[in-house]
Amino acid sequence: MKLWSPFSGGQAKIGRLAPRKPSLAGLTIGVLDNSKPNAGALLHRVAELLAARTGAAGVRGWSKPSAARPAEILDDIAKGADVVLTGSAD
């Protein structure tokens, strides 16, 4: 897999993706809001519905300062959530 990193200024090689979780039951669903209008509302609602339907432990949220800036809080998110939803909205 190839990844364009805003931190390295170019393309970085990364290893394999994390294995897919067999179930969301008991897991914390994270939401990364990119700060575009309605992104947070949409992502949080989807996460709440997923949690209710799958028995997830709960939902936690984080926000980027702007859609144009990279998420510099990835380590915090990785420590606070088992799976993460992110996306863009207007």
Residue 69 in domain: yes
Residue 49 in domain: yes
Give the count of domains, the chain: 1
- Domain residues for the domain of 30 are 18-86
pLDDT mean for each 10 residues of the chain (90 residues): 61 72 96 91 95 97 87 90 87
Cα–Cα dist 27/59, whole Å: 9
Provide the b/e sequence for 49-85 (b: ≥16 CB within 10 Å).
Answer: ebbeeeebeebbbbebeeeeeebeeeeebeeebeebb
Structural contact between residues 51 and 59, judged by C-beta atoms closer than 8 angstroms = yes
Residue 52 in domain: yes
